[in-house]
A and B are shown apart, each in its own frame.
Chain A
Amino acid sequence: AQSVTQLGSHVSVSEGALVLLRCNYSSSVPPYLFWYVQYPNQGLQLLLKYTTGATLVKGINGFEAEFKKSETSFHLTKPSAHMSDAAEYFCAVGLHGSGNTGKLIFGQGTTLQVKP
């Protein structure tokens, strides 16, 4: 069975500082990996995804994540935090196969606070 663990339910950084949100997954087969962002009372927006190929993936708003198979990790980073980055971030895994598109297993989420 697949699972996702996000280390740290709350992360606080200063504006301009590095953002690092941690995600580890468990899967018996190589998964698809995703990061979504959720602003208050809104749906989820896809930040980036890893399917195959290059293990460093770049997403929207300056975020990127690196798939490390040996560490079963997919940490999200951004070099310089902006106030508008304050939101909740979810890591998710999906399975291969046409019958599994969109069926995602989510972590518990990490709330990012950005201090001025």
Chain B
Amino acid sequence: SQTIHQWPATLVQPVGSPLSLECTVEGTSNPNLYWYRQAAGRGLQLLFYSVGIGQISSEVPQNLSASRPQDRQFILSSKKLLLSDSGFYLCAWSDTEPEAFFGQGTRLTVV
């Protein structure tokens, strides 16, 4: 069966520091991969998606970037964090079915 791993679970970072969140999927090949963000009191917003290695599409302009160096690895990064980057970040994957399967999330607090 497929599993998705996301780490770290929680992160507190100062403003201006870099960020790297990692997500890996097991048990499937060539999945579509996604980064969603859930801000406090709001729904989920799709940030990035990838249909293959090195292929990244951004849904919203922002201070973040994403990379897919391997088939089942998806990384969310920032060079300099802003206070507004705080939130709950969720990695997800999909294949031929329309639904997305989510990781456990990373709670990011920028201070």
Contacts and interface: CB of A to CB of B under 8 A. Distances in A.
Interface of A: 4, 32, 34, 36, 41-46, 49, 51, 90, 92, 94, 96, 98-109
B44 A90 contact: yes
A81 B110 CA distance: 37
Contacts of A45: 102
CB-CB nearest 4 A-B residue pairs: A102-B94, A43-B102, A102-B100, A106-B43
16 contacts: A41-B9, A41-B105, A42-B105, A43-B90, A43-B103, A43-B105, A44-B102, A51-B98, A92-B44, A101-B95, A101-B100, A102-B100, A104-B100, A105-B46, A106-B45, A107-B43
Interface of B: 6, 9, 32, 34, 42-46, 49, 51, 88, 90, 92-105, 107
A98 B43 contact: no
